[in-house]
A and B are shown apart, each in its own frame.
Chain A
Amino acid sequence: MPDHSPTRRLLMATALTLPWQSGVKAAMPKGGIVSLDYGLASTLLALGTAPAAIAARADWDTWMVEPAMPEGVADLGLTAEINFEVLARLKPDVILSTPFLASLTPKLQSIAPVMEFPIYTPESDALTASYAATRKLAAALNREQRGEDFLSRAEACFDDCRRRLEKLQPPPVAVINFMDERHARVYGGPGLYQGAMEKIGLANAWPEKTNYWGFETIALEALAVLSADARLIAFEPLTPPDILSRLDQSPLWSNLPFVRAGGVSTLPGVLMFGMVQEAMRFARLVTDHLESHA
């Protein structure tokens, strides 16, 4: 269940009722780098290179918000089922992928060399893996210096957030996405949000372990373990959109100590399966938010 952006709706309408509308516009340049992963695409932008095409371009604005993806970037279709015809016509120089898409690799290799970046694996936490992947990508693009610059910018951003938060003595924070009116995903473990929280010295209020993607699906009553001073941050998009007013009708929810203390907030979306840019965005958003509520 979904985001409900106009683009997505339009796409749905196109898919289900009006199969004869055209999807993409503008002739595409040849060559360049293609990314099948949002995190890798935004890292590319951070390194000063725009990709020639990315998967699921149509959803970028909903899930990434920033950095803005330049206009001319082509859409390759769904991540797990990118359109090979479009890709082959682009004649890219290199394709950036992840182990999650390993089943596509042989076919991709017949189009262009494939670079695989493991970020979400059982072996490593996401932020550490993202740093390594950023360096590897920068090296492959002969932009080592830009890569290091970017990573020191990231460190500086995290340090800045950490200093600002130290003054506040921030509460422990739990980060969730609502799945429906009774369930949510809560983040932690080896995930990206957790990595960013550690960088900026924020304690995760969610005590339990998660899967290696860094989240766990829970029923909302499980949030009762959160302490009274905890702050619950729900990232958009909210599903269903009126979830918070619905929850107010639940005595359990409205009596939870952190809810009573007004410790629930929503923030614009940050891709949970992103890389360093998304960790920075997360850190900035959360720090700004905590400062404004201090």
Chain B
Amino acid sequence: MPPVLLRLLTPAGVAASLFLLGAIFAVSDIWPDLHRLSGDGAQYDVERLMLLYSTLPRMVTALLAGAALALAGALLQQALRNPLASPSTLGISAGANLAVAATMFAFPTLEGISRDVVAMAGSALAAVAVFSIGARRGFSPLSLVLAGLMIGIWCVAASAILVLLNERYLSGLFIWGAGSLSLQSWAVPVTLFPKILVLTALAGLIMRPLSLMELGDVSAGALGLSVVRLRILAVSIAVSLAALVTSAVGVIGFVGLVAPAIARLAGARRIAQQILWSPLIGAGLLLLTDEIVKRLSDITGGLIPTGAMTALFGAPLVLFLLPRLKAMQRELPAPPPGIIKQRRLSPIMVLSFVGLLVAGVTAAILFGRAPDGSWGLLPVGEWTEILPYRWPRAVAAFAAGSLLGAAGAILQRLTGNEIASPEVLGVSAGATLGMAVALFAFTASGPMLQLGFASAGAAVVLFAILSLGLRSGFTPERVLLTGVVLTAMLDAVIGVLAAGGDPRAMMIIRWMGGSTYLVDGFTARIAVVCAVVFATMAILAHRWLTLLPLGAGAARELGVHVPSARAALFILAAAMTAAATLIIGPLSFAGLMGPHLAREIGFRRAGPHLIAAALAAGCLMVLADWVGRMAAFPYQLPAGLVSALVGAPLLMVLLGRRK
């Protein structure tokens, strides 16, 4: 590298270059009108007004929000010793957004409720959820981020249900979720600035003790530092910063991850350096991005939300940062194999389970509401007429749920991570994007066309997993994080589409909600065949599932070719997920809950656990589908969303109990 460039590669150099670039854009933006500011404003001058009350406050807000998020990211990364931590990757921004969305939905004028307080409560809640999952794995960086991204995806799903129930006027919430920086007054930056200033001062106060933490927790403790209290303080400051920004302009994704990462790459090794330079880099970065977004927006003529764009380009950085993580990650032992209450499958139990299962599905089909809303069993006389609309849904829900349950069991064993879920493999995101292409490329797209495109999208991702995996030897975390990142990027794309308000975006969101609505008898039968075939394959692979969690070395000793075993299992799980996604959409979380329910009941050995997980997830989806059909009858809620909304809190309870 030429020496000049090398000299630029210092934190100061990078920050300066970003500012310079941003400033070039910004100045070229405002220069022609700058002289108008000196006017007295007596007569009307639209350019002057725009400059004074829209362009300038927007620039200042970009700088403020960028700096605040970057500082939040730097603090989180330091406090958690995790280079992947940020308000986006830990679900903090998404939590704030969900809380604000829910509040605005219930109280459109806010009626005296402070949006800042609501946002803080939401982000704090998300942070507590993420940390309580992370604590179980000793705050391992990857588990924490995986938990954070999952919570983030769940928050997006929960906001979607608010919108789904409200067919015609929804874009407002989406614009918020996608983070638009457009302003018409100084109110936002003027109120944001003092709050950020106070929090920054607080961060400055704990900079020295934070630096001492670099010595390691033990040495820092020896120097008289309460490491835990310090961590909590740093995280609280970060959470507040992120919540305030979200409350002011919406979710600005991944700036808090990218800016500290750039600072580190540019050579900011010490904490003081990082905390100083990250906000400056973040400010420059967001200003630059926003200037580019404004220009893009001028070209396309539509609204492009800045936050979704930063997420779209920032999310892949997680993958880029991953190799760096290896060096500083402590190797964690796999969770101890559960010997506490092992349960064997006796024939009587199998029979009673199957009996319960059949009874449950039958009940879900036969018990319901008549058009007048009254409850009851479906009269036999109406069977031929009505059953074709009910049984395929219940059966397909069961099949898809069990596919996800089995896939989840495989993934959780393979990765040794208890919150690994098939939805985050990225296959679902691929299917959703395929669906989007079908909707936007054709004026009228029938179900077959949509299904075809969704399958193609899933296949592309499947292929990508395979080819990327071959290179990395199918390292479990890498595969999962790739999927999560793909999902986050998908959310960003959907965010841009939905913020524009195109009714077709609503169709995608509805599909993402995961409804068995369009399933017919034929699809249901195919789903059952898929479930049986794939589940058989999975059961045949149970030896791998028993041995691989012992660790790559041990498995090799026992005669397993680790890369090909992992590849086979990943591909199997991905194929199962693809099949299920096409039926109940990408958001059910059934694959996450099934394995946990199975373990809770007492199935621990690989084979029985797999089967029980599949059945439990299947039942869960049947229940979710039934609730979705009945709760707001004749209006229907998508089964995927119902199961995600109910299932995620349930999962937290289960995890909490197993401490």
Interface residues of A, Cβ cutoff 8 Å to B: 1-4, 8, 11-12, 14-15, 19-28, 56, 58-59, 63, 74-81, 83-86, 88-90, 99-100, 102-107, 116, 118, 121-123, 177, 179-180, 182-183, 185, 208-209, 211, 213, 215-221, 224, 228, 237, 239-242, 247, 249-253, 255-257, 260, 273
Residue of A nearest to B378 (CB): A85
Q: How far, in whole Å, are A196 and B522 apart by their CA atoms in the complex? A: 46
Given contacts A104-B518, A121-B443, A217-B501, A19 and B303 within 8 Å (CB-CB): no
Give, as a whole number of angstroms, the nearest-CB distance from A73 to chain B: 13
Give, as a whole number of angstroms, the nearest-CB distance from B98 to chain A: 14
Docked-complex contact B372 and A102, CB < 8 angstroms: no
Q: How far, in whole Å, are A215 and B446 apart by their CA atoms in the complex? A: 25
Contact of B634 among A76, A216, A217, A228 (CB under 8 A): A76
Docked-complex contact B184 and A78, CB < 8 angstroms: no
30 example contacts (A-B, Cβ-Cβ < 8 A) are as follows A1-B108, A1-B169, A2-B105, A2-B108, A3-B168, A19-B631, A19-B632, A23-B373, A24-B373, A77-B636, A86-B634, A100-B504, A103-B518, A106-B447, A179-B501, A208-B301, A213-B502, A216-B302, A217-B303, A217-B499, A218-B303, A220-B182, A221-B183, A240-B104, A240-B110, A247-B184, A251-B52, A252-B52, A253-B184, A255-B49
Docked-complex contact B50 and A103, CB < 8 angstroms: no
Given contacts A2-B105, A241-B108, A253-B184, A224 and B46 within 8 Å (CB-CB): yes
By a CB distance below 8 angstroms, the chain A residues around B506 are: 80
Q: Does residue B44 face the partner (Cβ distance < 8 Å to A)? A: yes
Docked-complex contact B386 and A88, CB < 8 angstroms: yes
Docked-complex contact A217 and B302, CB < 8 angstroms: yes
Given contacts A1-B108, A22-B372, A80-B506, A180 and B175 within 8 Å (CB-CB): yes
By a CB distance below 8 angstroms, the chain A residues around B54 are: 221, 224, 252
Docked-complex contact A220 and B170, CB < 8 angstroms: no
Residue of B nearest to A218 (CB): B303
Q: How far, in whole Å, are A256 and B184 apart by their CA atoms in the complex? A: 11
Among B183, B630, B635, chain A packs the most CB atoms within 10 A around the CB of B635
Residue of A nearest to B108 (CB): A240
Q: Does residue B552 face the partner (Cβ distance < 8 Å to A)? A: no
Q: Does residue B444 face the partner (Cβ distance < 8 Å to A)? A: yes
Docked-complex contact A179 and B172, CB < 8 angstroms: yes
By a CB distance below 8 angstroms, the chain A residues around B515 are: 81
Given contacts A24-B371, A180-B176, A80 and B510 within 8 Å (CB-CB): yes
Q: Does residue B187 face the partner (Cβ distance < 8 Å to A)? A: yes
By a CB distance below 8 angstroms, the chain A residues around B520 are: 106-107
Given contacts A15-B635, A83-B633, A3 and B510 within 8 Å (CB-CB): no
Docked-complex contact A249 and B636, CB < 8 angstroms: no
Among A8, A58, A75, A86, chain B packs the most CB atoms within 10 A around the CB of A86
Residue of B nearest to A38 (CB): B168
By a CB distance below 8 angstroms, the chain B residues around A241 are: 108-109
Contact of A242 among B49, B109, B303, B499 (CB under 8 A): B109
Docked-complex contact B182 and A219, CB < 8 angstroms: yes
Given contacts A99-B444, A255-B44, A257-B44, A2 and B631 within 8 Å (CB-CB): no
Docked-complex contact B445 and A179, CB < 8 angstroms: no
Q: How far, in whole Å, are A257 and B44 apart by their CA atoms in the complex? A: 7
By a CB distance below 8 angstroms, the chain B residues around A240 are: 104, 108-110
Docked-complex contact A105 and B53, CB < 8 angstroms: no
Q: How far, in whole Å, are A215 and B373 apart by their CA atoms in the complex? A: 38
Docked-complex contact B636 and A81, CB < 8 angstroms: yes
Residue of A nearest to B633 (CB): A23
Contact of B444 among A24, A28, A83, A102 (CB under 8 A): A102
Docked-complex contact B49 and A256, CB < 8 angstroms: yes
By a CB distance below 8 angstroms, the chain A residues around B444 are: 99-100, 102, 116
Contact of B167 among A56, A85, A86, A218 (CB under 8 A): A56
By a CB distance below 8 angstroms, the chain B residues around A220 are: 182, 184
Can you list, as one digit per residue, whether each of B369-388 has a CB less than 8 Å from chain A (1) or not (0)?
10111110000001001100
Given contacts A217-B499, A237-B169, A183 and B180 within 8 Å (CB-CB): yes
Contact of B175 among A22, A102, A179, A242 (CB under 8 A): A179
By a CB distance below 8 angstroms, the chain B residues around A209 are: 301
Docked-complex contact A19 and B634, CB < 8 angstroms: no
Docked-complex contact A180 and B182, CB < 8 angstroms: no
Contact of A11 among B373, B446, B503, B635 (CB under 8 A): B635
Given contacts A24-B372, A89-B385, A239-B108, A77 and B635 within 8 Å (CB-CB): yes
Q: Does residue B166 face the partner (Cβ distance < 8 Å to A)? A: yes
Q: How far, in whole Å, are A215 and B502 apart by their CA atoms in the complex? A: 9
Q: Does residue B389 face the partner (Cβ distance < 8 Å to A)? A: yes
By a CB distance below 8 angstroms, the chain A residues around B502 are: 211, 213
Docked-complex contact B371 and A22, CB < 8 angstroms: no
By a CB distance below 8 angstroms, the chain A residues around B166 are: 1-3, 8
Docked-complex contact A183 and B172, CB < 8 angstroms: yes
Q: Does residue B507 face the partner (Cβ distance < 8 Å to A)? A: yes
Q: How far, in whole Å, are A61 and B110 apart by their CA atoms in the complex? A: 25
Docked-complex contact B637 and A15, CB < 8 angstroms: yes
Residue of B nearest to A63 (CB): B168
Can you list, as one digit per residue, whether each of B260-291 has a CB less than 8 Å from chain A (1) or not (0)?
00000000000000000000000000000000
Q: How far, in whole Å, are A58 and B104 apart by their CA atoms in the complex? A: 22
Docked-complex contact B389 and A84, CB < 8 angstroms: yes
Q: Does residue B165 face the partner (Cβ distance < 8 Å to A)? A: yes
Q: Does residue B140 face the partner (Cβ distance < 8 Å to A)? A: no
By a CB distance below 8 angstroms, the chain A residues around B368 are: 85
Docked-complex contact A249 and B634, CB < 8 angstroms: no
Docked-complex contact B632 and A11, CB < 8 angstroms: yes
Give, as a whole number of angstroms, the nearest-CB distance from A176 to chain B: 12
Q: Does residue B450 face the partner (Cβ distance < 8 Å to A)? A: yes
Top 7 nearest A-B pairs by Cβ distance?
A22-B373, A219-B182, A252-B53, A1-B172, A15-B632, A99-B444, A102-B444
Given contacts A107-B518, A180-B175, A59 and B168 within 8 Å (CB-CB): yes
Docked-complex contact A85 and B390, CB < 8 angstroms: yes
Docked-complex contact A15 and B631, CB < 8 angstroms: yes
Q: How far, in whole Å, are A102 and B486 apart by their CA atoms in the complex? A: 29
Q: How far, in whole Å, are A289 and B236 apart by their CA atoms in the complex? A: 53
Q: How far, in whole Å, are A118 and B46 apart by their CA atoms in the complex? A: 41
Q: How far, in whole Å, are A155 and B238 apart by their CA atoms in the complex? A: 62
Q: How far, in whole Å, are A56 and B634 apart by their CA atoms in the complex? A: 10
By a CB distance below 8 angstroms, the chain B residues around A183 are: 171-172, 175, 180, 182, 303
Docked-complex contact B445 and A103, CB < 8 angstroms: yes
| Interface positions of B from 28 to 69, Cβ below 8 Å from A | 44, 46, 49-50, 52-54
Q: Does residue B500 face the partner (Cβ distance < 8 Å to A)? A: yes
Q: Does residue B196 face the partner (Cβ distance < 8 Å to A)? A: no
| Interface positions of B from 149 to 177, Cβ below 8 Å from A | 164-173, 175-176
Q: How far, in whole Å, are A54 and B175 apart by their CA atoms in the complex? A: 30
Q: How far, in whole Å, are A90 and B634 apart by their CA atoms in the complex? A: 13
Docked-complex contact B517 and A81, CB < 8 angstroms: yes
Can you list, as one digit per residue, whether each of B540-574 has a CB less than 8 Å from chain A (1) or not (0)?
00000000000000000000000000000000000
Q: How far, in whole Å, are A24 and B633 apart by their CA atoms in the complex? A: 8
By a CB distance below 8 angstroms, the chain A residues around B176 are: 180
Docked-complex contact A122 and B634, CB < 8 angstroms: no
Q: How far, in whole Å, are A8 and B165 apart by their CA atoms in the complex? A: 9
Give, as a whole number of angstroms, the nearest-CB distance from A18 to chain B: 9
Q: Does residue B535 face the partner (Cβ distance < 8 Å to A)? A: no
Q: How far, in whole Å, are A56 and B164 apart by their CA atoms in the complex? A: 13
Q: How far, in whole Å, are A16 and B635 apart by their CA atoms in the complex? A: 12
By a CB distance below 8 angstroms, the chain B residues around A180 are: 172, 175-176
Give, as a whole number of angstroms, the nearest-CB distance from A193 to chain B: 15
By a CB distance below 8 angstroms, the chain B residues around A239 are: 108, 169, 172
Q: How far, in whole Å, are A99 and B110 apart by their CA atoms in the complex? A: 38
Give, as a whole number of angstroms, the nearest-CB distance from B585 to chain A: 13
Given contacts A24-B372, A180-B175, A4 and B108 within 8 Å (CB-CB): yes
Docked-complex contact B446 and A102, CB < 8 angstroms: yes
Docked-complex contact B371 and A1, CB < 8 angstroms: no
Q: Does residue B185 face the partner (Cβ distance < 8 Å to A)? A: yes
Docked-complex contact B187 and A14, CB < 8 angstroms: no
| Interface positions of B from 609 to 659, Cβ below 8 Å from A | 627, 630-638
